[in-house]
């Protein structure tokens, strides 16, 4: 490897590196502002001035910007040269001319890059005595606070927002001494990644508005490596807590996953753990009680209904909790599943099985390198950071194709976006599979409208096929996998799963258990149901059946950290620690197990779900009571990775999925005259995050979305009202016409689906309201 | 014909020379300004619908170029260059004396709506420094006396 010399230290560099990048990667500090590894060099701030030693001794040394100077073999660089120091001192003095010097009341204080650089390089006194330039701030919504006077014009914000995250509602206005970073008018920033401005801004222009409400200095925060619990990607986070409350969440660098960023759901969804209705005391029959009394009550009821017990784990419950529940049920003669929706169970198990029997899911940085992708569903809502990775691929010229049923922000970056009704997704994917086979066999398919897509996937160096499991059936997932096999060994396959530990929970129980438990509860065969971190009552499609069935139960035991509909109905309720209050392990969409540590503890005793079940096992005198040994028994070759490391693959394999799908799972094309539903999601749409008031205040309005042509044919006009009738209820909603929704499909939000008792793709009755 | 239709008409004309709609943004703003005198928020919003740029992207362009006005100017506009060459030849004094003469800050309109004086980024008239653009016409070199005469003439002119 080639090397350069920085102040006598030998630094290795990769081809294409500039001096600054090489130095920072070798942990050699060169002062800088505008450079960021994700955004590369700009040369705007002039702070990274260094002196280059001339080759010939009769030439004078040369000053240059380290971020703009390519590293060359043998180059001798001095950061400490007097001339370089002088440039940096002047740059800081200039940048500080208009700065308000408001560090004591600035939220960035203590972790401010400008503060650090001023102390490191700047003059200790202020010479300028003139008037400072001042700006009017904008209201950027409930999540981000704007304070323009602190700006040093490094352009990191717009380079991240516009160039990296491809947003278009934050820009650099005006010119010269008055450059202003803001929006056209006041209003919330629209990008799902806007919260990263808080971290990318080297001063206090953009700060966390929720953190501001319950502020603590950075050095007073308790932190520990954590994993984001809001989707299946498993971004690494660094939450900060003080005085027994959680104050903020920041990103923690994982070089293969989220790198420097997290989405706004991950950053602001943490408010669920501070929700005013948060469960803090165990309850038995609606009365608050002590932990031990609740355990005693649960023990008595479980003993009384031996062999008539069911347990539902969760895709948002960690590996320890799910495994303990499964082990407990094995001992007391019960059935376990991690899913309350049999269709989601089937789809997740199919997806995990296909991933294990293919080359495995690519990491986010591998996804950034692909050159073509077929995306099924609304990726932004189900795995926002995968969306951000694909935006990077798009920036490098990848051709993205999208099959979607409802509007999704990613559509604007695709080469072709095709709206497909949920029930026709299978047919559409199968047709594409046929086309690709035909093309590979050398047949001419050019008169088919989808030929372009087939060709783009075939000619790609590395095509990616990705589906959002929550809106796909097991058969859809399988046909996507077959498409990947057809495309050959270079094709990569992955799925956005339904929760942070969906992969891990899918390994624990066979497909069909969810339906078996539901039916057993309905027939009265199961008398006691233990639910850990799940909410079967709020399942769009099966919620109604679960509610009715649970009336047959003797006892409903719920363990959760949020007050879900199921938790409210529980006979025995154990409040458990939120994700930042406990340690555990999540298995992400790649099958990568990542552990996390408790960041802080509340004054109340809040054990993890695994601890509660371990205590239950003790009270029940079961033989397996220890979390670690149960984990060891269930996954023999698995060593729990240390928190803060890159994680390790979970060495368990599911059997391959057979070609004949189990009954009940395929969603096939229905009669064209009937309407079908489509889940309309947004990036804050997730169970835990729905308890975060700051984030949910940005939720889109409750409307019914219908495609223009279908609406015209049926005489429905924009803004009129329609009545939607489902199996549980009927609702009247205003209509919004949109081009980006599939024909014959009504797009409605999750809350409305739950109220109607309908799942994604179910038939729905629709009538005009006069 | 309302302003929106004027804009569409102008854009229809522009599309032959500007096949990419985004590229037509600045000429479209100039055209609309020729009709309206300046661009208000409504104009930016409508331009966004027509050019396919976001309102923020248009605002970036509109506020960058000193010949695009986001506030109403006077009937006559004097833009005095304050970049390097003009500054070295006394542009700062010209701007100061314009403020004194009109009894109002730069950018403000005289009471009869006749005139506004604005500073400008380099006009490329370094050979005539200190120079100004008066209703689109290049003028220079200026001194305090000739500037005052000019302002007096423009104020009385209509």
Statement to judge: residues B132 and B104 lie in one domain: yes
Say yes or no to pLDDT of A235 above 80.
yes
pLDDT digits (tens, 9 = 90+) for A493-516: 999 999 999 999 999 989 999 999
What is the per-residue pLDDT for B10?
65
Statement to judge: residues B80 and B145 lie in one domain: yes
Statement to judge: residues B13 and B56 lie in one domain: yes
Q: Of A167-176, A672-681, A695-704, B115-124, where does mean pLDDT reach its minimum?
A: A672-681
Q: Is residue B152 part of a domain?
A: yes
Q: Of A265-274, A424-433, B105-114, B121-130, where does mean pLDDT reach its minimum?
A: B105-114
Statement to judge: residues B108 and B86 lie in one domain: yes
Say yes or no to pLDDT of A668 above 80.
no
Q: Is residue B28 part of a domain?
A: yes
Average pLDDT over residues A530-547: 95
Q: How many CB atoms lie within 10 A of CB A607?
A: 18
Q: Judge contact between A401 and A376, C-beta under 8 A.
A: no
Say yes or no to pLDDT of A193 above 60.
yes
What is the per-residue pLDDT for A669?
46
Statement to judge: residues B80 and B149 lie in one domain: yes
Considering only the C-alpha atoms of chain B, give the largest distance between any 2 of them, rounded to a whole number of Å. 48
Distance CA A336, CA A325 (A): 8
Average pLDDT over residues B67-80: 94
CB contact under 8 A, B63 and A173: yes
Say yes or no to pLDDT of A574 above 80.
yes
Q: What is the mean pLDDT of chain B?
A: 88
CA distances from A31 to A44, A114, A378, B11, B114 (A): 13, 10, 41, 48, 52
Question: What is the distance, to the nearest Å, from the Cα of residue A20 to the centroid of all Cα atoms in its chain?
Answer: 31
Query: Of B64, B92, B109, which one is at a domain's C-terminal end?
Result: B64
Alpha helices in A540-586 (DSSP H): 543-550, 565-568
Q: Is residue B47 part of a domain?
A: yes
Average pLDDT over residues A107-114: 94
Statement to judge: residues B82 and B113 lie in one domain: yes
A131, A135, A184, A188: which to substitute to probe chain B, counting the most B Cβ within 10 Å? A184
B41, B58, B60, B66: which to substitute to probe chain A, counting the most A Cβ within 10 Å? B60
> Can you give the CATH number for the domain in which B95 is found?
3.40.30.10
Statement to judge: residues B80 and B39 lie in one domain: no
Structure confidence at residue A673 as a pLDDT band (50, 70, 90): low
Query: Of B42, B64, B86, which one is at a domain's C-terminal end?
Result: B64
CB contact under 8 A, A183 and B41: no
Q: Is residue B70 part of a domain?
A: no
Average pLDDT over residues A392-400: 96
Average pLDDT over residues A287-316: 95
Domains along chain A with CATH numbers: 3-95 (3.10.20.740), 130-273 (no CATH), 283-344+511-649 (3.40.50.740), 360-488 (3.40.228.10), 675-769 (2.40.40.20)
Please give the model's pTM, rounded to 2 decimal places: 0.94
Q: How many CB atoms lie within 10 A of CB A220?
A: 13
Residue B22 sits in which domain range? Answer: 3-64
CB contacts of B121 in chain A (<8 Å) are: 175-176
Statement to judge: residues B55 and B110 lie in one domain: no
Structure confidence at residue A55 as a pLDDT band (50, 70, 90): confident
> Can you give the CATH number for the domain in which B60 is found?
1.10.10
Give the relative orientation of helices B55-64 and B25-36 as an angle to the nearest 10 degrees. Answer: 70
Say yes or no to pLDDT of A141 above 70.
yes
Taking only residues 13 to 72 of chain B, the set having a beta carbon closer than 8 angstroms to any beta carbon of chain A reads: 41, 44, 53-60, 63-64
Q: What is the mean pLDDT of chain A?
A: 93
Local structure of A266: helix, strand or coil: helix
Highest mean pLDDT among A53-62, A550-559, B47-56: A550-559
What is the per-residue pLDDT for B36?
87
Q: Is residue B69 part of a domain?
A: no
pLDDT digits (tens, 9 = 90+) for A340-364: 999 999 999 999 999 998 888 999 9
Q: Distance (Å) from the C-alpha of residue B11 to the closest C-alpha of chain A?
A: 22
Statement to judge: residues B80 and B60 lie in one domain: no
CA distances from A220 to A138, A206, A216, A399, B56 (A): 29, 21, 6, 47, 38
CB contacts of A172 in chain B (<8 Å) are: 60
Distance CA A638, CA A635 (A): 5
Query: Of B64, B91, B108, which one is at a domain's C-terminal end?
Result: B64
Statement to judge: residues B52 and B81 lie in one domain: no
Q: What value of ipTM does the predicted structure carry?
A: 0.91
CB contact under 8 A, B60 and A176: no
The continuous run of DSSP H or E covering A457 comes out as helix A451-459
Statement to judge: residues B139 and B85 lie in one domain: yes
Distance CA A377, CA A420 (A): 9
Number of domains composing chain B: 2
Which percentage of chain A shows pLDDT scores above 70?
98
- How many Cα atoms occupy the beta-carbon half-sphere of A703 within 13 Å? 14
Nearest 5 degrees, angle CA A222-CA A227-CA A231?
135
| A662: DSSP letter | P
Question: What is the distance, to the nearest Å, from the Cα of residue A739 to the centroid of all Cα atoms in its chain?
Answer: 27
What is the per-residue pLDDT for A666?
45
């Amino acid at each position: 490897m080639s090397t350069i010399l920085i102040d006598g230290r030998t630094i290795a560099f990769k081809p294409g590196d500039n001096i600054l990048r090489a130095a920072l990667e070798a942990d050699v500090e060169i002062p800088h502002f505008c450079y960021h590894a994700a955004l590369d060099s700009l040369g705007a701030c002039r702070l990274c001035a260094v002196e280059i030693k001339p080759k010939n001794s009769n030439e004078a040394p040369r000053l240059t910007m380290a971020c703009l100077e390519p590293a060359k073999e043998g180059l001798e660089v001095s950061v400490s040269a007097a001339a370089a120091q002088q440039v940096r001192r002047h740059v800081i003095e200039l940048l500080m001319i208009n700065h308000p010097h408001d560090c004591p009341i600035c939220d960035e204080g203590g972790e401010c890059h400008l503060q650090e650089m001023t102390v490191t390089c700047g003059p200790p006194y202020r010479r300028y005595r003139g008037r400072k330039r001042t700006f009017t701030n904008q209201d950027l919504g409930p999540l981000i606070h704007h304070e323009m006077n602190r700006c040093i014009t490094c352009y990191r914000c717009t380079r991240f927002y516009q160039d990296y995250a491809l947003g278009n509602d934050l820009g650099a206005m005006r010119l010269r001494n008055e450059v202003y970073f803001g929006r056209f008018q006041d209003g919330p920033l629209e990008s799902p990644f806007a919260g990263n401005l808080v971290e990318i801004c080297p001063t206090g222009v953009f700060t966390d508005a929720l953190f501001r409400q319950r502020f603590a200095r950075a050095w007073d925060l308790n932190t520990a490596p954590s994993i984001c619990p809001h989707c299946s990607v498993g971004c690494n986070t660094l939450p900060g807590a003080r005085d027994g409350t959680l104050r903020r969440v920041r990103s923690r660098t994982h070089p293969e996953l989220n790198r420097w960023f997290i989405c706004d759901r991950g950053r602001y969804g943490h408010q669920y753990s501070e929700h005013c209705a948060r469960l803090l005391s165990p309850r038995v029959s609606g009365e608050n009680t002590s932990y031990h009394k609740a355990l005693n009550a649960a023990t008595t009821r479980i003993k009384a209904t031996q062999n008539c017990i069911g347990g539902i784990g969760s895709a948002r419950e960690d590996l320890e909790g799910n495994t303990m529940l499964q082990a407990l049920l094995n001992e007391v003669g019960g059935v376990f599943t991690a899913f309350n929706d049999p269709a989601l169970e089937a789809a997740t198990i199919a997806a995990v099985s296909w991933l294990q029997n293919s080359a495995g899911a690519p990491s986010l940085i591998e996804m950034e390198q692909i050159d073509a992708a077929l995306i099924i569903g609304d990726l932004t809502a189900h795995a926002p950071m995968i969306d951000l990775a694909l935006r990077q691929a798009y920036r490098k010229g990848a051709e993205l194709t999208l099959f979607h049923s409802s509007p999704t922000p990613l559509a604007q970056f695709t080469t072709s976006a095709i709206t497909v009704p949920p029930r026709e997704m299978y047919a559409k994917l199968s047709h594409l599979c046929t086309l690709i086979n035909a093309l590979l066999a050398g047949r001419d398919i050019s008169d088919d409208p989808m030929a372009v897509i087939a060709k783009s996937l075939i000619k790609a160096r590395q095509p990616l096929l990705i589906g959002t499991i929550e809106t796909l059936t097991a058969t859809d997932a399988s046909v996507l996998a077959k498409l990947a096999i057809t495309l050959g060994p270079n094709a990569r396959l992955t799925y956005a799963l339904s929760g942070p530990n969906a992969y891990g929970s899918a390994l624990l129980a066979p497909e069909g258990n969810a339906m078996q438990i539901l039916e057993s509860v309905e027939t009265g065969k199961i008398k006691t149901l233990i639910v850990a971190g799940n909410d079967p009552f709020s399942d769009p499609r099966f919620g109604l059946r679960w509610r009715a069935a649970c009336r047959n139960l003797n006892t409903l035991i719920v363990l959760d950290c949020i007050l879900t509909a199921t938790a409210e109905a529980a006979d025995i309720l154990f409040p458990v620690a939120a994700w930042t209050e406990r340690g555990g392990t999540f298995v992400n969409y790649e099958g990568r197990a990542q552990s996390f540590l408790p960041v802080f503890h509340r004054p109340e005793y809040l054990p993890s779900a695994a601890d509660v079940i371990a205590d239950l096992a003790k009270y029940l005198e079961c033989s397996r009571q220890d979390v670690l040994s149960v984990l060891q028994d269930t996954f023999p070759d698995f060593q729990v990775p240390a928190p803060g490391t890159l994680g390790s693959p979970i060495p368990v394999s599911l059997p391959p999925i057979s070609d004949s799908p189990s009954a009940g799972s395929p969603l096939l094309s229905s009669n064209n005259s009937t309407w079908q539903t489509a889940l309309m999601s947004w990036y804050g749409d997730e169970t835990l995050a729905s308890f975060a008031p700051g984030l949910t205040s940005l939720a889109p309005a409750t409307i019914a979305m219908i495609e223009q042509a279908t609406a015209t044919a049926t005489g429905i006009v924009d803004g009129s009202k329609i009545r939607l009738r489902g199996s549980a209820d009927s609702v009247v909603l205003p209509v919004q016409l949109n081009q980006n929704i599939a024909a014959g499909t009504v797009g409605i939000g999750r809350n409305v689906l739950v109220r109607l008792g309908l799942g994604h793709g179910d038939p729905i009755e629709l009538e005009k309201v006069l | 014909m309302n302003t929106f239709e004027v804009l569409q008409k102008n854009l229809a004309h522009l599309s032959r020379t500007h096949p990419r709609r985004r590229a037509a943004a600045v000429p479209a703003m100039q055209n609309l300004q020729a009709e309206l005198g300046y661009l208000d928020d409504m104009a930016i919003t409508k331009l966004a619908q027509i050019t396919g740029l976001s309102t923020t992207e248009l605002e970036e362009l509109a506020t960058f170029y000193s010949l695009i006005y986001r506030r109403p100017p006077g009937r006559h506009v004097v833009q005095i260059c304050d970049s390097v060459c003009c500054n070295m030849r006394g542009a700062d004094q010209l701007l100061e004396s314009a403020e004194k003469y009109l009894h109002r800050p730069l950018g403000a309109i005289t009471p009869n709506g006749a005139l506004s004086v604005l500073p400008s980024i380099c006009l490329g008239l370094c050979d005539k420094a200190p120079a100004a653009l008066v209703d689109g016409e290049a003028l220079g070199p200026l001194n305090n006396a000739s500037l005052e005469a000019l302002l007096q003439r423009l104020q009385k002119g209509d």
